[in-house]
Structure 1
Protein backbone atom coordinates (compact mmCIF):
# COMPACT_ATOMS: atom_id res chain seq x y z
CA UNK A 1 0.00 0.00 0.00
CA UNK A 2 1.21 3.51 -0.82
CA UNK A 3 0.29 5.32 2.37
CA UNK A 4 0.96 8.76 0.95
CA UNK A 5 -1.82 8.24 -1.57
CA UNK A 6 -4.12 6.33 0.77
CA UNK A 7 -4.18 8.71 3.74
CA UNK A 8 -5.77 12.14 3.60
CA UNK A 9 -3.94 15.38 4.31
CA UNK A 10 -5.19 15.61 7.90
CA UNK A 11 -3.96 12.16 8.87
CA UNK A 12 -0.64 12.66 7.09
CA UNK A 13 -0.17 15.91 9.03
CA UNK A 14 -0.99 14.08 12.27
CA UNK A 15 1.59 11.39 11.49
CA UNK A 16 4.21 14.06 10.79
CA UNK A 17 3.39 15.91 14.02
CA UNK A 18 3.78 12.68 15.97
CA UNK A 19 7.04 11.75 14.23
CA UNK A 20 8.49 15.15 15.12
CA UNK A 21 8.76 13.96 18.73
CA UNK A 22 10.83 10.92 17.77
CA UNK A 23 13.99 12.59 16.47
CA UNK A 24 16.18 11.04 19.18
CA UNK A 25 18.04 7.85 18.29
CA UNK A 26 16.65 5.69 21.10
CA UNK A 27 17.72 2.10 21.55
CA UNK A 28 14.81 -0.37 21.74
CA UNK A 29 15.84 -1.31 25.27
CA UNK A 30 16.03 2.32 26.45
CA UNK A 31 12.67 2.07 28.19
CA UNK A 32 13.03 5.29 30.14
CA UNK A 33 13.98 7.17 27.00
CA UNK A 34 11.01 5.70 25.13
CA UNK A 35 8.71 6.75 27.97
CA UNK A 36 10.16 10.24 28.13
CA UNK A 37 9.53 10.84 24.43
CA UNK A 38 6.07 9.24 24.51
CA UNK A 39 5.03 11.35 27.49
CA UNK A 40 6.29 14.52 25.82
CA UNK A 41 4.33 13.63 22.68
CA UNK A 42 1.18 13.04 24.75
CA UNK A 43 1.59 16.43 26.44
CA UNK A 44 1.96 18.15 23.08
CA UNK A 45 -1.34 16.67 21.88
CA UNK A 46 -3.21 17.34 25.15
CA UNK A 47 -6.32 19.34 24.33
CA UNK A 48 -7.36 20.40 27.83
CA UNK A 49 -10.58 19.58 29.67
CA UNK A 50 -14.05 20.45 28.42
CA UNK A 51 -15.93 22.96 30.55
CA UNK A 52 -17.49 21.43 33.63
CA UNK A 53 -15.24 18.36 33.88
CA UNK A 54 -13.03 17.91 36.90
CA UNK A 55 -10.65 15.12 37.89
CA UNK A 56 -9.69 13.54 41.19
CA UNK A 57 -6.72 11.23 41.75
CA UNK A 58 -6.97 8.33 44.14
CA UNK A 59 -6.68 4.57 44.39
CA UNK A 60 -9.04 1.66 43.83
CA UNK A 61 -8.04 -1.83 44.94
CA UNK A 62 -4.52 -0.49 45.48
CA UNK A 63 -4.21 0.73 41.88
CA UNK A 64 -3.73 4.48 41.19
CA UNK A 65 -6.70 5.92 39.34
CA UNK A 66 -8.04 9.24 38.09
CA UNK A 67 -11.78 9.87 38.24
CA UNK A 68 -13.43 12.30 35.84
CA UNK A 69 -16.81 13.77 36.75
CA UNK A 70 -19.01 15.36 34.11
CA UNK A 71 -21.11 18.45 34.58
CA UNK A 72 -21.07 21.23 37.12
CA UNK A 73 -19.66 20.06 40.42
CA UNK A 74 -18.26 16.82 38.98
CA UNK A 75 -20.49 14.56 41.06
CA UNK A 76 -18.28 11.54 41.61
CA UNK A 77 -20.08 8.34 42.49
CA UNK A 78 -23.45 9.82 41.57
CA UNK A 79 -24.82 6.48 40.38
CA UNK A 80 -25.28 4.75 37.06
CA UNK A 81 -22.66 2.83 35.12
CA UNK A 82 -19.11 4.14 35.25
CA UNK A 83 -16.57 3.82 32.46
CA UNK A 84 -13.29 2.10 33.30
CA UNK A 85 -10.78 3.40 30.76
CA UNK A 86 -7.58 1.45 30.11
CA UNK A 87 -4.88 3.32 28.22
CA UNK A 88 -2.75 2.20 25.32
CA UNK A 89 1.02 2.15 25.05
CA UNK A 90 2.01 -1.42 24.29
CA UNK A 91 1.85 -2.38 28.00
CA UNK A 92 5.14 -0.45 28.31
CA UNK A 93 4.22 3.23 27.90
CA UNK A 94 1.57 5.63 29.14
CA UNK A 95 -0.28 6.30 32.37
CA UNK A 96 -2.81 8.65 33.89
CA UNK A 97 -1.46 11.66 31.98
CA UNK A 98 -1.04 10.12 28.53
CA UNK A 99 -4.80 9.75 27.90
CA UNK A 100 -5.98 12.39 30.35
CA UNK A 101 -7.85 14.62 27.91
CA UNK A 102 -9.36 11.60 26.13
CA UNK A 103 -10.97 10.48 29.39
CA UNK A 104 -12.15 14.01 30.22
CA UNK A 105 -13.79 14.33 26.81
CA UNK A 106 -15.52 10.95 27.16
CA UNK A 107 -16.95 12.11 30.46
CA UNK A 108 -18.20 15.34 28.88
CA UNK A 109 -19.66 13.66 25.80
CA UNK A 110 -21.43 10.83 27.63
CA UNK A 111 -22.40 12.37 30.97
CA UNK A 112 -20.78 9.37 32.64
CA UNK A 113 -18.10 9.16 35.28
CA UNK A 114 -14.86 7.88 33.76
CA UNK A 115 -12.17 6.17 35.80
CA UNK A 116 -8.69 5.71 34.31
CA UNK A 117 -6.50 3.00 35.82
CA UNK A 118 -2.72 3.36 36.08
CA UNK A 119 -1.90 -0.33 35.75
CA UNK A 120 1.68 -1.57 36.17
CA UNK A 121 3.87 -1.54 33.09
CA UNK A 122 6.30 -3.99 31.51
CA UNK A 123 9.14 -4.82 31.48
CA UNK A 124 9.36 -4.11 35.20
CA UNK A 125 6.09 -6.00 35.67
CA UNK A 126 5.45 -8.75 33.15
CA UNK A 127 2.16 -10.40 32.22
CA UNK A 128 -0.24 -10.94 33.94
CA UNK A 129 0.45 -7.87 36.12
CA UNK A 130 -1.44 -5.55 33.76
CA UNK A 131 -4.48 -7.83 33.62
CA UNK A 132 -4.39 -8.33 37.39
CA UNK A 133 -4.46 -4.58 38.03
CA UNK A 134 -7.21 -3.87 35.50
CA UNK A 135 -9.28 -6.74 36.84
CA UNK A 136 -8.82 -5.64 40.45
CA UNK A 137 -10.17 -2.17 39.66
CA UNK A 138 -13.00 -3.59 37.56
CA UNK A 139 -14.08 -6.03 40.29
CA UNK A 140 -14.09 -3.27 42.89
CA UNK A 141 -16.19 -0.99 40.70
CA UNK A 142 -18.53 -3.81 39.68
CA UNK A 143 -19.24 -4.53 43.33
CA UNK A 144 -21.03 -1.17 43.36
CA UNK A 145 -22.94 -1.55 40.09
CA UNK A 146 -22.61 -2.20 36.36
CA UNK A 147 -19.53 -0.91 34.60
CA UNK A 148 -18.52 -0.11 31.04
CA UNK A 149 -15.08 -0.99 29.72
CA UNK A 150 -13.19 1.06 27.17
CA UNK A 151 -9.59 1.01 26.02
CA UNK A 152 -7.31 1.71 23.11
CA UNK A 153 -4.53 -0.52 21.77
CA UNK A 154 -3.06 -2.41 24.77
CA UNK A 155 -5.90 -0.98 26.84
CA UNK A 156 -8.35 -2.54 24.40
CA UNK A 157 -6.67 -5.88 24.98
CA UNK A 158 -7.08 -5.44 28.72
CA UNK A 159 -10.72 -4.37 28.37
CA UNK A 160 -11.52 -7.51 26.38
CA UNK A 161 -9.67 -9.69 28.90
CA UNK A 162 -11.47 -8.12 31.85
CA UNK A 163 -14.85 -8.45 30.14
CA UNK A 164 -14.26 -12.18 29.69
CA UNK A 165 -13.49 -12.56 33.41
CA UNK A 166 -16.48 -10.64 34.83
CA UNK A 167 -18.84 -10.61 31.86
CA UNK A 168 -22.10 -10.57 33.84
CA UNK A 169 -21.06 -7.35 35.61
CA UNK A 170 -20.19 -5.43 32.44
CA UNK A 171 -22.85 -3.38 30.65
CA UNK A 172 -20.83 -2.87 27.47
CA UNK A 173 -17.36 -2.80 25.97
CA UNK A 174 -15.77 -0.41 23.47
CA UNK A 175 -12.42 -1.40 21.97
CA UNK A 176 -10.28 1.01 19.95
CA UNK A 177 -7.68 -0.58 17.61
CA UNK A 178 -7.07 -3.43 20.10
CA UNK A 179 -4.54 -6.24 19.93
CA UNK A 180 -6.51 -9.44 20.48
CA UNK A 181 -4.55 -12.34 18.98
CA UNK A 182 -1.25 -14.11 19.53
CA UNK A 183 0.94 -12.60 16.82
CA UNK A 184 4.00 -14.67 16.02
CA UNK A 185 5.65 -15.39 12.68
CA UNK A 186 5.26 -16.91 10.18
CA UNK A 187 2.19 -14.88 9.29
CA UNK A 188 -0.32 -15.79 6.57
CA UNK A 189 0.50 -13.75 3.46
CA UNK A 190 -2.97 -12.20 3.40
CA UNK A 191 -2.80 -11.12 7.07
CA UNK A 192 -2.84 -7.45 8.06
CA UNK A 193 0.43 -8.23 9.85
CA UNK A 194 1.89 -8.65 6.36
CA UNK A 195 -0.25 -6.18 4.40
CA UNK A 196 0.30 -3.43 6.98
CA UNK A 197 3.67 -4.59 8.31
CA UNK A 198 5.24 -1.15 7.83
CA UNK A 199 2.23 1.01 8.57
CA UNK A 200 2.79 4.50 9.95
CA UNK A 201 2.47 4.80 13.74
CA UNK A 202 2.80 1.05 14.41
CA UNK A 203 4.65 -1.73 12.56
CA UNK A 204 4.55 -5.48 12.92
CA UNK A 205 8.10 -5.35 14.27
CA UNK A 206 6.91 -2.89 16.94
CA UNK A 207 4.18 -5.33 17.95
CA UNK A 208 6.67 -8.17 18.29
CA UNK A 209 9.01 -6.03 20.40
CA UNK A 210 6.21 -4.95 22.75
CA UNK A 211 5.11 -8.57 23.15
CA UNK A 212 8.61 -9.65 24.21
CA UNK A 213 8.74 -6.85 26.76
CA UNK A 214 5.27 -7.73 28.02
CA UNK A 215 6.27 -11.33 28.70
CA UNK A 216 9.94 -10.91 29.46
CA UNK A 217 10.63 -13.23 26.53
CA UNK A 218 8.56 -15.23 24.10
CA UNK A 219 4.78 -14.72 24.46
CA UNK A 220 2.78 -17.43 26.20
CA UNK A 221 -0.58 -18.48 24.66
CA UNK A 222 -2.76 -17.22 27.50
CA UNK A 223 -6.35 -16.09 26.73
CA UNK A 224 -5.97 -13.35 29.36
CA UNK A 225 -3.23 -11.91 27.19
CA UNK A 226 -4.77 -12.77 23.82
CA UNK A 227 -8.59 -12.75 24.06
CA UNK A 228 -9.01 -14.45 20.67
CA UNK A 229 -7.53 -17.60 22.24
CA UNK A 230 -10.56 -17.89 24.53
CA UNK A 231 -12.90 -20.83 24.03
CA UNK A 232 -16.04 -19.45 25.71
CA UNK A 233 -17.63 -16.21 24.53
CA UNK A 234 -21.20 -16.95 25.63
CA UNK A 235 -22.75 -14.33 27.87
CA UNK A 236 -20.26 -11.62 26.96
CA UNK A 237 -21.57 -8.04 27.14
CA UNK A 238 -22.36 -6.09 23.98
CA UNK A 239 -19.26 -4.90 22.17
CA UNK A 240 -18.27 -2.19 19.73
CA UNK A 241 -14.79 -2.83 18.34
CA UNK A 242 -13.08 -0.42 15.96
CA UNK A 243 -9.90 -1.11 14.00
CA UNK A 244 -7.82 1.26 11.90
CA UNK A 245 -7.31 0.22 8.30
CA UNK A 246 -3.62 1.18 8.18
CA UNK A 247 -2.58 -0.89 11.16
CA UNK A 248 -0.99 -4.35 11.51
CA UNK A 249 -3.77 -5.15 13.99
CA UNK A 250 -6.59 -4.43 11.52
CA UNK A 251 -7.63 -8.10 11.21
CA UNK A 252 -8.10 -8.62 14.96
CA UNK A 253 -11.41 -6.79 15.19
CA UNK A 254 -13.28 -8.72 12.46
CA UNK A 255 -11.99 -12.01 13.89
CA UNK A 256 -13.08 -11.09 17.41
CA UNK A 257 -16.50 -9.85 16.35
CA UNK A 258 -17.06 -13.07 14.41
CA UNK A 259 -16.25 -15.15 17.49
CA UNK A 260 -18.65 -13.10 19.62
CA UNK A 261 -21.48 -13.30 17.10
CA UNK A 262 -21.00 -17.06 16.75
CA UNK A 263 -21.60 -17.28 20.51
CA UNK A 264 -24.81 -15.23 20.24
CA UNK A 265 -23.27 -12.02 21.57
CA UNK A 266 -24.28 -8.61 20.27
CA UNK A 267 -21.16 -7.29 18.61
CA UNK A 268 -20.45 -4.60 16.06
CA UNK A 269 -17.08 -4.03 14.45
CA UNK A 270 -15.54 -1.90 11.76
CA UNK A 271 -12.18 -1.43 10.11
CA UNK A 272 -12.22 2.30 9.61
CA UNK A 273 -10.78 3.40 6.27
CA UNK A 274 -7.93 5.86 6.10
CA UNK A 275 -7.11 5.76 9.80
CA UNK A 276 -3.92 4.69 11.58
CA UNK A 277 -3.05 3.23 14.95
CA UNK A 278 -3.08 5.95 17.62
CA UNK A 279 -5.58 8.16 15.80
CA UNK A 280 -7.36 9.02 19.06
CA UNK A 281 -4.85 11.86 19.38
CA UNK A 282 -5.93 13.15 15.98
CA UNK A 283 -9.56 13.67 16.98
CA UNK A 284 -9.14 17.47 16.96
CA UNK A 285 -7.06 17.44 13.77
CA UNK A 286 -8.87 14.96 11.52
CA UNK A 287 -12.52 14.71 10.54
CA UNK A 288 -12.20 10.93 10.23
CA UNK A 289 -10.64 10.58 13.68
CA UNK A 290 -13.26 12.90 15.16
CA UNK A 291 -16.04 10.76 13.70
CA UNK A 292 -14.45 7.63 15.15
CA UNK A 293 -14.20 9.22 18.60
CA UNK A 294 -17.83 10.35 18.38
CA UNK A 295 -18.79 6.76 17.63
CA UNK A 296 -16.90 5.59 20.73
CA UNK A 297 -18.71 8.08 22.95
CA UNK A 298 -22.12 7.35 21.43
CA UNK A 299 -21.69 3.61 22.01
CA UNK A 300 -20.72 4.12 25.66
CA UNK A 301 -23.73 6.38 26.24
CA UNK A 302 -26.05 3.93 24.51
CA UNK A 303 -24.76 0.93 26.50
CA UNK A 304 -25.13 2.91 29.73
CA UNK A 305 -28.77 3.74 28.96
CA UNK A 306 -29.80 0.11 28.65
CA UNK A 307 -31.42 -1.86 31.49
CA UNK A 308 -28.93 -3.68 33.70
CA UNK A 309 -27.87 -7.06 32.38
CA UNK A 310 -27.86 -8.70 35.85
CA UNK A 311 -25.29 -9.01 38.54
CA UNK A 312 -22.48 -11.26 38.83
CA UNK A 313 -19.83 -12.29 41.17
CA UNK A 314 -17.55 -9.29 41.47
CA UNK A 315 -16.09 -8.76 44.90
CA UNK A 316 -14.32 -5.93 46.65
CA UNK A 317 -15.17 -2.33 47.35
CA UNK A 318 -14.01 0.78 45.57
CA UNK A 319 -12.04 3.31 47.55
CA UNK A 320 -10.83 6.75 46.58
CA UNK A 321 -8.07 8.61 48.32
Structure 2
Protein backbone atom coordinates (compact mmCIF):
# COMPACT_ATOMS: atom_id res chain seq x y z
CA UNK A 1 0.00 0.00 0.00
CA UNK A 2 1.52 3.45 -1.03
CA UNK A 3 2.52 5.92 1.74
CA UNK A 4 0.74 9.26 1.81
CA UNK A 5 2.69 12.43 0.92
CA UNK A 6 2.38 13.70 4.53
CA UNK A 7 3.92 10.48 5.83
CA UNK A 8 6.83 10.73 3.31
CA UNK A 9 7.52 14.38 4.19
CA UNK A 10 7.66 13.90 7.94
CA UNK A 11 11.11 12.23 8.05
CA UNK A 12 12.53 14.94 5.76
CA UNK A 13 11.18 17.73 7.99
CA UNK A 14 12.52 15.93 11.06
CA UNK A 15 16.01 15.68 9.49
CA UNK A 16 15.97 19.36 8.53
CA UNK A 17 14.91 20.33 12.04
CA UNK A 18 17.75 18.29 13.55
CA UNK A 19 20.25 19.91 11.14
CA UNK A 20 18.96 23.39 12.03
CA UNK A 21 19.21 22.63 15.75
CA UNK A 22 22.75 21.35 15.23
CA UNK A 23 23.67 24.52 13.32
CA UNK A 24 22.23 26.74 16.05
CA UNK A 25 24.13 24.81 18.71
CA UNK A 26 27.36 25.16 16.67
CA UNK A 27 26.83 28.91 16.30
CA UNK A 28 26.19 29.27 20.04
CA UNK A 29 29.38 27.32 20.81
CA UNK A 30 31.42 29.45 18.40
CA UNK A 31 29.99 32.66 19.85
CA UNK A 32 30.76 31.46 23.36
CA UNK A 33 34.31 30.54 22.36
CA UNK A 34 34.76 33.89 20.63
CA UNK A 35 33.46 35.80 23.65
CA UNK A 36 35.66 33.76 25.96
CA UNK A 37 38.64 34.38 23.71
CA UNK A 38 37.97 38.13 23.66
CA UNK A 39 37.73 38.33 27.44
CA UNK A 40 40.88 36.26 27.82
CA UNK A 41 42.75 38.60 25.44
CA UNK A 42 41.31 41.63 27.25
CA UNK A 43 42.50 40.27 30.59
CA UNK A 44 45.91 39.44 29.14
CA UNK A 45 46.23 42.95 27.69
CA UNK A 46 45.32 44.53 31.01
CA UNK A 47 47.78 42.30 32.87
CA UNK A 48 50.58 43.16 30.46
CA UNK A 49 49.87 46.88 30.72
CA UNK A 50 49.87 46.64 34.51
CA UNK A 51 53.17 44.71 34.36
CA UNK A 52 54.72 47.33 32.05
CA UNK A 53 53.63 50.15 34.35
CA UNK A 54 55.10 48.33 37.34
CA UNK A 55 58.37 47.67 35.47
CA UNK A 56 58.64 51.35 34.54
CA UNK A 57 58.23 52.23 38.21
CA UNK A 58 60.99 49.79 39.11
CA UNK A 59 63.27 51.54 36.62
CA UNK A 60 62.81 54.85 38.39
CA UNK A 61 60.08 56.23 36.11
CA UNK A 62 56.39 56.59 36.87
CA UNK A 63 53.88 56.03 34.08
CA UNK A 64 50.32 57.20 34.64
CA UNK A 65 47.22 55.81 32.89
CA UNK A 66 44.18 57.17 34.73
CA UNK A 67 40.99 55.09 34.70
CA UNK A 68 42.49 52.37 32.50
CA UNK A 69 39.87 50.36 30.63
CA UNK A 70 39.88 47.62 27.98
CA UNK A 71 37.05 47.93 25.45
CA UNK A 72 35.91 46.92 21.95
CA UNK A 73 33.92 43.68 22.41
CA UNK A 74 33.39 41.72 20.20
CA UNK A 75 35.41 42.74 17.10
CA UNK A 76 38.02 45.11 18.48
CA UNK A 77 40.43 45.13 21.39
CA UNK A 78 41.37 48.53 22.75
CA UNK A 79 42.80 50.34 25.75
CA UNK A 80 41.72 53.77 26.97
CA UNK A 81 43.06 56.14 29.62
CA UNK A 82 41.43 59.38 30.70
CA UNK A 83 44.87 60.94 31.14
CA UNK A 84 48.45 59.79 30.62
CA UNK A 85 51.73 60.96 32.07
CA UNK A 86 55.40 60.09 32.55
CA UNK A 87 57.73 61.12 35.35
CA UNK A 88 61.42 60.25 34.99
CA UNK A 89 63.24 62.17 37.75
CA UNK A 90 66.56 60.48 37.00
CA UNK A 91 66.54 62.20 33.58
CA UNK A 92 64.75 65.35 34.72
CA UNK A 93 61.89 64.65 32.31
CA UNK A 94 58.17 64.85 32.96
CA UNK A 95 55.24 64.89 30.52
CA UNK A 96 51.48 64.64 30.68
CA UNK A 97 48.67 64.71 28.11
CA UNK A 98 44.94 64.12 27.78
CA UNK A 99 43.00 60.97 26.99
CA UNK A 100 44.49 58.08 25.04
CA UNK A 101 42.56 55.51 23.02
CA UNK A 102 44.18 52.56 21.27
CA UNK A 103 42.46 49.80 19.31
CA UNK A 104 43.23 46.74 17.17
CA UNK A 105 40.94 44.50 15.16
CA UNK A 106 40.50 41.16 16.90
CA UNK A 107 41.59 39.33 13.74
CA UNK A 108 44.77 41.45 13.45
CA UNK A 109 45.88 42.33 16.99
CA UNK A 110 49.42 43.17 15.83
CA UNK A 111 48.22 46.36 14.08
CA UNK A 112 47.35 48.99 16.67
CA UNK A 113 45.99 52.48 16.04
CA UNK A 114 45.92 55.22 18.67
CA UNK A 115 44.61 58.73 19.21
CA UNK A 116 45.89 61.14 21.84
CA UNK A 117 44.12 64.28 23.06
CA UNK A 118 46.07 67.37 24.00
CA UNK A 119 47.48 69.48 25.31
CA UNK A 120 50.76 67.96 26.46
CA UNK A 121 52.87 69.59 29.17
CA UNK A 122 56.58 68.79 28.96
CA UNK A 123 59.51 69.55 31.23
CA UNK A 124 63.03 68.53 30.14
CA UNK A 125 66.62 69.59 30.88
CA UNK A 126 67.97 72.61 28.99
CA UNK A 127 64.47 73.56 27.76
CA UNK A 128 61.85 75.96 29.06
CA UNK A 129 58.60 74.34 30.25
CA UNK A 130 56.68 73.54 27.06
CA UNK A 131 52.99 73.44 26.14
CA UNK A 132 52.19 71.31 23.06
CA UNK A 133 48.80 71.43 21.38
CA UNK A 134 47.30 70.01 18.19
CA UNK A 135 44.02 69.57 16.35
CA UNK A 136 44.44 65.82 15.87
CA UNK A 137 47.18 63.32 16.77
CA UNK A 138 46.98 59.74 15.49
CA UNK A 139 49.51 56.95 15.45
CA UNK A 140 49.73 53.36 14.28
CA UNK A 141 52.12 50.52 15.08
CA UNK A 142 52.81 47.01 13.84
CA UNK A 143 53.99 44.51 16.46
CA UNK A 144 55.46 41.07 15.83
CA UNK A 145 57.15 38.45 17.96
CA UNK A 146 60.32 40.57 18.31
CA UNK A 147 58.47 43.75 19.20
CA UNK A 148 57.70 46.93 17.31
CA UNK A 149 58.25 46.57 13.56
CA UNK A 150 56.96 49.91 12.28
CA UNK A 151 55.49 53.13 13.61
CA UNK A 152 53.67 56.09 12.07
CA UNK A 153 52.55 59.39 13.58
CA UNK A 154 50.40 62.15 12.06
CA UNK A 155 49.83 65.46 13.85
CA UNK A 156 47.54 68.12 12.42
CA UNK A 157 48.17 71.77 13.33
CA UNK A 158 50.84 71.20 16.02
CA UNK A 159 51.86 74.23 18.11
CA UNK A 160 54.84 74.37 20.49
CA UNK A 161 54.64 77.15 23.08
CA UNK A 162 56.40 78.23 26.23
CA UNK A 163 54.24 77.16 29.16
CA UNK A 164 52.80 79.71 31.53
CA UNK A 165 51.29 77.88 34.49
CA UNK A 166 49.13 75.17 32.91
CA UNK A 167 48.39 77.22 29.80
CA UNK A 168 50.18 78.24 26.61
CA UNK A 169 52.36 81.33 26.52
CA UNK A 170 54.35 82.63 23.59
CA UNK A 171 54.38 80.16 20.65
CA UNK A 172 57.81 79.00 19.49
CA UNK A 173 56.80 77.01 16.40
CA UNK A 174 53.75 75.76 14.54
CA UNK A 175 52.99 73.95 11.31
CA UNK A 176 50.07 72.64 9.26
CA UNK A 177 50.86 68.92 9.35
CA UNK A 178 53.66 66.81 10.78
CA UNK A 179 54.23 63.19 9.75
CA UNK A 180 56.88 60.78 11.07
CA UNK A 181 57.41 57.16 10.03
CA UNK A 182 59.89 54.49 11.15
CA UNK A 183 60.29 50.83 10.19
CA UNK A 184 62.72 47.98 10.61
CA UNK A 185 64.53 47.02 7.41
CA UNK A 186 66.60 44.00 8.36
CA UNK A 187 69.25 45.34 10.74
CA UNK A 188 68.63 48.89 9.50
CA UNK A 189 66.09 51.51 10.53
CA UNK A 190 64.27 53.52 7.86
CA UNK A 191 63.10 56.98 8.94
CA UNK A 192 60.93 59.54 7.14
CA UNK A 193 59.67 62.95 8.25
CA UNK A 194 57.66 65.77 6.67
CA UNK A 195 56.62 69.03 8.29
CA UNK A 196 54.60 71.44 6.15
CA UNK A 197 54.29 75.22 6.48
CA UNK A 198 56.52 75.56 9.54
CA UNK A 199 56.73 78.97 11.19
CA UNK A 200 59.10 79.62 14.06
CA UNK A 201 59.60 82.55 16.41
CA UNK A 202 62.85 82.08 18.31
CA UNK A 203 63.70 84.33 21.27
CA UNK A 204 65.92 87.23 20.25
CA UNK A 205 65.47 86.60 16.52
CA UNK A 206 63.01 87.95 13.95
CA UNK A 207 60.16 85.68 12.90
CA UNK A 208 61.34 83.28 10.19
CA UNK A 209 59.54 82.91 6.87
CA UNK A 210 57.35 79.77 6.51
CA UNK A 211 59.22 76.73 5.25
CA UNK A 212 58.74 73.02 4.55
CA UNK A 213 60.98 70.22 5.87
CA UNK A 214 61.37 66.67 4.60
CA UNK A 215 63.77 63.85 5.48
CA UNK A 216 64.16 60.27 4.26
CA UNK A 217 67.13 58.26 5.55
CA UNK A 218 68.40 54.89 6.73
CA UNK A 219 70.54 54.12 9.79
CA UNK A 220 72.40 50.90 9.04
CA UNK A 221 72.43 49.19 12.45
CA UNK A 222 69.63 50.89 14.36
CA UNK A 223 66.65 48.52 13.89
CA UNK A 224 66.70 47.78 17.62
CA UNK A 225 65.79 51.37 18.42
CA UNK A 226 62.16 50.56 17.64
CA UNK A 227 62.11 47.70 20.15
CA UNK A 228 64.14 49.15 23.02
CA UNK A 229 64.12 52.90 22.37
CA UNK A 230 66.99 55.25 21.54
CA UNK A 231 70.04 54.13 23.57
CA UNK A 232 70.41 56.32 26.62
CA UNK A 233 67.39 58.34 25.45
CA UNK A 234 69.92 60.63 23.75
CA UNK A 235 69.81 60.80 19.95
CA UNK A 236 73.11 62.67 19.62
CA UNK A 237 75.00 60.08 21.65
CA UNK A 238 73.19 57.17 19.98
CA UNK A 239 74.21 58.36 16.51
CA UNK A 240 77.90 58.14 17.36
CA UNK A 241 79.47 55.17 15.66
CA UNK A 242 76.50 54.79 13.29
CA UNK A 243 76.46 54.97 9.48
CA UNK A 244 73.69 55.29 6.95
CA UNK A 245 72.34 56.95 3.82
CA UNK A 246 70.42 60.18 3.38
CA UNK A 247 68.05 59.65 0.47
CA UNK A 248 66.62 63.15 0.87
CA UNK A 249 67.04 66.01 3.30
CA UNK A 250 65.02 68.94 1.99
CA UNK A 251 64.35 72.50 3.06
CA UNK A 252 62.12 74.68 0.88
CA UNK A 253 60.52 78.13 0.97
CA UNK A 254 57.00 78.56 -0.49
CA UNK A 255 58.03 81.82 -2.14
CA UNK A 256 61.01 80.22 -3.89
CA UNK A 257 64.28 78.76 -2.76
CA UNK A 258 65.20 75.32 -1.58
CA UNK A 259 67.99 72.86 -0.81
CA UNK A 260 68.16 69.08 -1.15
CA UNK A 261 70.97 66.98 0.32
CA UNK A 262 71.62 63.26 -0.30
CA UNK A 263 74.42 60.74 0.11
CA UNK A 264 76.04 58.17 2.45
CA UNK A 265 77.42 59.23 5.82
CA UNK A 266 79.00 57.96 9.02
CA UNK A 267 79.47 59.45 12.48
CA UNK A 268 82.63 58.86 14.49
CA UNK A 269 82.64 57.98 18.17
CA UNK A 270 83.56 61.59 18.87
CA UNK A 271 80.59 62.91 16.89
CA UNK A 272 82.43 64.00 13.72
CA UNK A 273 80.45 63.55 10.48
CA UNK A 274 81.96 62.13 7.29
CA UNK A 275 80.24 61.56 3.96
CA UNK A 276 79.95 62.26 0.24
CA UNK A 277 76.96 64.45 -0.45
CA UNK A 278 75.11 65.82 -3.43
CA UNK A 279 73.73 69.28 -2.68
CA UNK A 280 71.16 70.93 -4.96
CA UNK A 281 70.21 74.53 -4.17
CA UNK A 282 67.78 77.13 -5.51
CA UNK A 283 68.23 80.74 -4.28
CA UNK A 284 71.34 79.92 -2.22
CA UNK A 285 71.51 83.12 -0.13
CA UNK A 286 67.94 82.78 1.22
CA UNK A 287 68.54 79.15 2.15
CA UNK A 288 71.91 79.91 3.74
CA UNK A 289 70.34 82.51 6.02
CA UNK A 290 67.56 80.15 7.11
CA UNK A 291 69.93 77.23 7.77
CA UNK A 292 72.21 79.48 9.82
CA UNK A 293 69.31 80.25 12.16
CA UNK A 294 67.81 76.74 12.32
CA UNK A 295 71.12 74.89 12.89
CA UNK A 296 73.34 76.85 15.29
CA UNK A 297 76.99 76.85 14.34
CA UNK A 298 76.43 76.33 10.60
CA UNK A 299 75.86 79.93 9.50
CA UNK A 300 79.41 80.48 8.27
CA UNK A 301 79.53 77.14 6.45
CA UNK A 302 76.15 77.74 4.78
CA UNK A 303 77.21 81.20 3.59
CA UNK A 304 80.52 79.86 2.26
CA UNK A 305 78.78 77.10 0.30
CA UNK A 306 76.25 79.61 -1.07
CA UNK A 307 79.11 81.77 -2.34
CA UNK A 308 80.96 78.79 -3.86
CA UNK A 309 77.93 77.57 -5.78
CA UNK A 310 78.22 80.38 -8.31
CA UNK A 311 81.61 79.30 -9.68
CA UNK A 312 81.81 75.60 -8.76
CA UNK A 313 78.25 74.37 -9.31
CA UNK A 314 76.54 72.82 -12.31
CA UNK A 315 72.97 73.44 -13.43
CA UNK A 316 70.43 70.61 -13.18
CA UNK A 317 66.65 71.17 -13.50
CA UNK A 318 66.90 74.83 -12.53
CA UNK A 319 69.05 74.13 -9.46
CA UNK A 320 72.73 74.60 -8.80
CA UNK A 321 74.36 71.30 -7.83
CA UNK A 322 77.69 70.60 -6.13
CA UNK A 323 79.36 67.51 -4.66
CA UNK A 324 80.54 68.13 -1.12
CA UNK A 325 83.03 65.86 0.62
CA UNK A 326 83.09 65.80 4.42
CA UNK A 327 85.90 64.09 6.31
CA UNK A 328 85.79 64.04 10.13
CA UNK A 329 83.69 67.19 10.15
CA UNK A 330 85.79 69.10 7.59
CA UNK A 331 83.75 70.03 4.48
CA UNK A 332 85.43 70.52 1.11
CA UNK A 333 84.32 71.31 -2.42
CA UNK A 334 87.01 69.47 -4.36
CA UNK A 335 90.22 71.07 -3.13
CA UNK A 336 88.39 74.12 -1.73
CA UNK A 337 87.93 74.07 2.08
CA UNK A 338 84.42 75.17 3.12
CA UNK A 339 84.50 74.95 6.91
CA UNK A 340 83.56 72.58 9.70
CA UNK A 341 80.29 70.91 10.56
CA UNK A 342 79.52 71.03 14.31
CA UNK A 343 79.81 67.75 16.16
CA UNK A 344 76.63 65.80 16.68
Q: Normalised by the size of structure 2, how large is the TM-score?
A: 0.28
Larger radius of gyration: 2
Higher relative contact order (CA 8 A, sep 6+): 1
